[in-house]
Chain A
Amino acid sequence: MVDLKRRRGTLIIIFLVLFAVVLISLQISGRYEGDAPHNVGLKIFAPWQRAFHWVVDSIRTVFRNHVFLVNLKEENRQLQEEVRRLKRENSELKESAQAAERLRRLLLLKERVTAPIISAEVIAFSPSVWFRTIVINKGSRDGVKKGMPVVMWEGVVGRVIRTSSSTSIVLLIIDRNSSMDVLVQRTRARGIMDGEGGARCYLRYAPRTEDIQVGDHLITSSLGEIFPKGLSVGEVVMVEKKEYGLFQTVEIRPSVDFFRLEEVMVILTPARKREG
């Protein structure tokens, strides 16, 4: 009894480690999806993420609108004040123009994709290096469901993997767990594009005999029945063909700049139903 008390800390650590190993094993084997903890966690922490996002965004806006203020001198006080006012106005107008341009492009995408689309704001990014995900401010009560594609006017972003009532987690196409069927727009060569967890993706199972060149544009094929066909995915930046082997290695730069995500669009009807 005394021994157990003294070793209580060690026993607790061992129990926690075993518990984590069981959890991981169940998820990797597919027997447990882990939706419930994610839903509860999102419900609890998403409001805090929204609040932090608002604070950080406000600070950034203040810096953008005021950091370029010139130093005031007494003899030029009025002129300096006028310059400051105009710069602030100019900065706000630039922000509005950029927002308008983003919305214009979003509308263009809406014309290309006939399914219902909702816009969503990115409020948080993954805190883990192993999963490239984002949290958006739309959830099940907005009609978002697991598996729905997420895009921007530039191209494909990812797909929804978890939802709560007001937020959702999106798996980006650059994530290691992401795979999608794509076509080379020029030659119609097909392959599976995998994420690597970094800024690039790689095309797997592209036969060596296929003509793929640097600069080729990749689009979705809709074979995976998740993404609508014809959406921009990325551009080929490297092709490696070895002397042996069935396939060539192709490195892809995604069309979307994943480190500047602010707004995305969720397509509410999966491609399967639309092309049914």
Chain B
Amino acid sequence: MVKTLVLLVIGILWLILATTLMGFSPTYLPTPDVVLIVVIIFSFQYSFSLGGALSFLLGLLQDILSGGIIGLNALSKTVIFSLTKTIARRFYFSNVVSKIAIVFLAGIFDFLLAASILFIGGKIHSTVAVLARQLFLQIFFTGLFSPLVFLITPAISDLGERGSEEGFRYGHKKARTRGI
């Protein structure tokens, strides 16, 4: 329970940090989608019910802080969690490269899902070239930022309860040294 709360609070703090740091970057960079990275961490650690609810909540917070359509990121992050959870059941992500790769793939899917919803709702007038450029920049910087989030978030959350709800192995050093 403590670990769940700690991880949720960490996710919220990452989100708030992302909103305040962007204004101080030396050149224009897209804000990394930290919620996406935290949701992927949730998919490695939590069950469908708990992780899905947490992902929905973080996506909702992302919508609220952006001032946009409420539910857009809540929907996409919940779907991303479900897909990542389903895929992660079959594969063991033990290295940084795999984690970054899944962040890239999840980022592409997240972007395309949100773009589809906005297109259907008539909220997008951009050309494909503009969208493709924005997609590339967004997932590139999210992928670059992900190792930092992967490193810090589980380390802090381990201060709470240990062990995942379903025994799914997260590629963490301590898990490996325990010989699990």
Contacts and interface: CB of A to CB of B under 8 A. Distances in A.
A87 interface: no
Interface string A7-25: 0111011001101111110
A198 B130 contact: yes
B50 to A, nearest CB: 8
A16 B54 CA distance: 11
Given A57-B24, A129-B111, A169 B67 contact: yes
Interface in A247-268: 259, 261-262
Contacts of A38: 64, 67, 70
A110 interface: no
A13 B78 contact: yes
B101 to A, nearest CB: 20
Contacts of A20: 56, 59, 71-72, 74-75, 78
Contacts, number: 170
Contacts of B33: 127, 129
A261 B16 CA distance: 18
B68 interface: yes
Given A34-B69, A49-B20, A171-B67, A13 B123 contact: no
B144 interface: no
A48 B68 contact: no
B143 to A, nearest CB: 14
Interface string B20-62: 1111110110110111000000000001110011001001111
A128 B63 contact: yes
A38 B70 CA distance: 8
B67 A133 contact: yes
B19 A124 contact: yes
A131 B68 contact: yes
Interface of B: 15-25, 27-28, 30-31, 33-35, 47-49, 52-53, 56, 59-75, 78-79, 81-82, 111, 114, 117-118, 121-126, 130, 133-134, 138
A122 interface: yes
Contacts of B125: 176, 194, 196
A9 B72 contact: no
Given A13-B52, A21-B71, A129 B65 contact: no
B85 to A, nearest CB: 9
B68 A13 contact: no
Contacts of A169: 67
Given A34-B70, A130-B68, A177-B123, 11 more contacts: A12-B53, A13-B82, A16-B74, A16-B78, A49-B16, A52-B20, A125-B31, A126-B66, A127-B33, A133-B66, A169-B67
A194 to B, nearest CB: 6
A61 B18 CA distance: 19
Contacts of B22: 125
A113 to B, nearest CB: 24
A197 B49 CA distance: 34
Given A21-B75, A177-B123, A261-B23, A27 B70 contact: yes
Nearest to B25: A259
B105 to A, nearest CB: 17
A24 B120 CA distance: 11
A56 B59 CA distance: 24
Contacts of A13: 48-49, 52, 78, 81-82
Given A17-B79, A53-B20, A127 B70 contact: no
B123 A127 contact: no
Contacts of B126: 176, 196-197
Nearest to A21: B75
Contacts of A56: 20-21, 24
